[in-house]
A and B are shown apart, each in its own frame.
Chain A
């Protein structure tokens, strides 16, 4: 069953702690993305990667880091430098890298900072 899987679904973190969100896809897609969703704010791009071992900052990259060591995996680390990390995080992938194709989203990870 092909798809994109995010884990964990819910995560709680204390202030000052880093946390890593997992994103795995078995669709053989080249490009992967991380979006942040806040109420009334839509989907804002954090980071994206169009090829293994390469990634670019999106609109709100500060306080986040990523890696793309394998085509299937694109983990996101929310660092202690992110001032307002409580949010819903969505990972997505697309077959091509021209940004003119369908984005396939995971089910999301909800991070709450206590």
Chain B
């Protein structure tokens, strides 16, 4: 089955700096890669996703890049703000497969220092 790993497990940045969170996946058939943000005590929420037919997607201060050859994808947050502090989960799935399901990584705790 699919195995999704996130590195590092924690990340601390200064407010205004950029943050990059990386994930690797094992199943070359995976073709959908969402990122979820979970603030302390709240539910996870989708912040951005990417499909395997594109290499990059942007939405204001966040972007996701995908390298299918290396089987890794990354979340980029620019001009970080204290409200970006949260746990970020990456995930991968194979859309359309007979037993497709979404596999999450273990999460990365991002702390933005004011």
Q: Which residues of A contact B (CB under 8 A)?
A: 35, 40-45, 48, 56, 58-59, 90, 98-100, 102-103, 105-108
Tell me the minimal C-beta distance from A8 to chain B in angstroms.
16
- The CA-CA distance from A80 to B43 in the complex, in Å, is 27
Residue of A nearest to B95 (CB): A100
Q: Closest residue to B102 on the A side, CB-wise?
A: A99
Determine how close the nearest CB of chain B comes to the CB of A23; give it in whole angstroms: 12
The winner among B49, B100, B104, B105 for most chain A CB atoms within 10 A is B104
Subset of 14 A-B contacts with CB under 8 Å: A43-B44, A43-B89, A45-B102, A45-B103, A56-B99, A98-B96, A99-B93, A99-B94, A100-B93, A103-B36, A103-B44, A105-B45, A107-B42, A107-B43
Q: Which residues of A contact B94 (CB under 8 A)?
A: 99
A residues in contact with B36, CB < 8 Å: 103
Using A48-B101, A106-B43 as known contacts, say yes or no to A41 and B106 having CB atoms under 8 A apart. Answer: yes
**A43 neighbours in B (Cβ, 8 Å):** 44, 89, 104, 107
Contact of A42 among B49, B51, B104 (CB under 8 A): B104
Judge whether A40 and B9 touch: CB under 8 Å: yes
Contacts of B104 in A (CB 8 A): 35, 42-44
Least Cβ distance of B94 to chain A in Å? 8
Asked whether A103 and B46 contact (CB < 8 A) given A40-B9, A48-B101, the answer is yes
When chains A and B are docked, how far (Å) is the Cα of A48 from the Cα of B43? 18
Contact A98 B100 (CB under 8 A): yes
Known: A42-B107, A100-B95. A105 touches B43 (CB 8 A): yes
Report B-chain residues with C-beta under 8 Å of the C-beta of A108: 43
When distances are taken between beta carbons in the complex, the residues of chain A under 8 Å from B95 are 98-100
Q: How far is the CA of A42 from the CA of B104 in the complex (A)?
A: 7
- Contacts beyond the supplied A41-B106, A45-B102, A99-B94: 4 A-B pairs with Cβ under 8 Å: A40-B107, A45-B103, A59-B1, A99-B93
Q: How far is the CA of A99 from the CA of B94 in the complex (A)?
A: 8
Is B102 within 8 A of A90, CB to CB? no
Give Cα distance in the complex from A42 to B43, angstroms.
13
B43 in contact with A99 (CB, 8 Å): no
